[in-house]
Amino acid sequence: SLEALLSKIPPKSLSDKELHKRQDTLSNLKSKTKQMATSFNMSNFANREDLLGQNKKAADDMSRVAGLDNQGIVGLQRQIMKEQDEGLEKLEETVLSTKHIALAVNEELTLHTRLIDDLEDHVDVTNSRLQRVQKRLAILNKRTKGGCSCMCLLLSVVAIVILAVIVWLLIKYM
């Protein structure tokens, strides 16, 4: 319908450049439509085959039954049921294996969760200790900012040295 509309446009109403641009856009839309239709048809076909098996299977089943009497058909049905039972047993093994793997993964996750919780507790304890030390350092920093404590400490050391010298002199000269 777009092609019909494009062909009905009077030639003088659009420039050649605009006409070519619209034709190119239309051809791009056509190719995209074809690509989408192809991929849609292929994906439906592939999914149907995956789910139901190929269409040849129905014809194959008919050819298997064609020359059999009632006993033969019953035997064929038993054989088919036996094959289905074997398939179900394999499926059961796979499900059990998957179950064991899921249980092992669950145990591993439980262990990791416990380890992470323990780590979180240790981090909390360490964080509280670090905060206490930071508070003490802040208090010490405030005390040393006045310069008084450093100066007092220095004067105390000098006084102790002078007293030690005086005591030594008194002991020596007495």
pLDDT confidence bin for 115, thresholds 50/70/90: very high
Amino acid, res. 85: D
Q: Is 76 exposed, middle or buried (0-12, 13-18, 19+ CB in 10 A)?
A: middle
> Quick one: average pLDDT of 89-105?
91
Residue 59 CA to residue 63 CA, distance in Å, equals 6
pTM, two decimal places: 0.39
Residue 8 CA to residue 19 CA, distance in Å, equals 12
